[in-house]
Amino acid sequence: MPKVATYLIGGGILLILLGYALSGFSPDRYMEYDNRHWYNVVNIYSE
């Protein structure tokens, strides 16, 4: 189980860095993207 958590955390960090790069390194746009992204993830797990 700890190994799975490590992969999830590592994957989350990679996704955040990737999202930051794709947003053109704009903090404002990145925060908007990040909020929508996590909102979508929560929705997927909620259903």
Q: What is the pLDDT of residue 28?
A: 63
Q: Does the pLDDT of residue 47 top 60, yes or no?
A: no
Contact 28, 20 (CB under 8 A): no
Q: Cβ distance 37 to 19 under 8 Å?
A: yes
> Tens digits of per-residue pLDDT, 1-45?
688 888 888 888 888 888 777 766 655 655 566 666 666 666 666
| Whole-structure pTM value | 0.39
- The residues, any chain, with a CB within 8 Å of residue 15's CB and separated by 6 or more, are 37
Domain ranges of the chain: 2-46
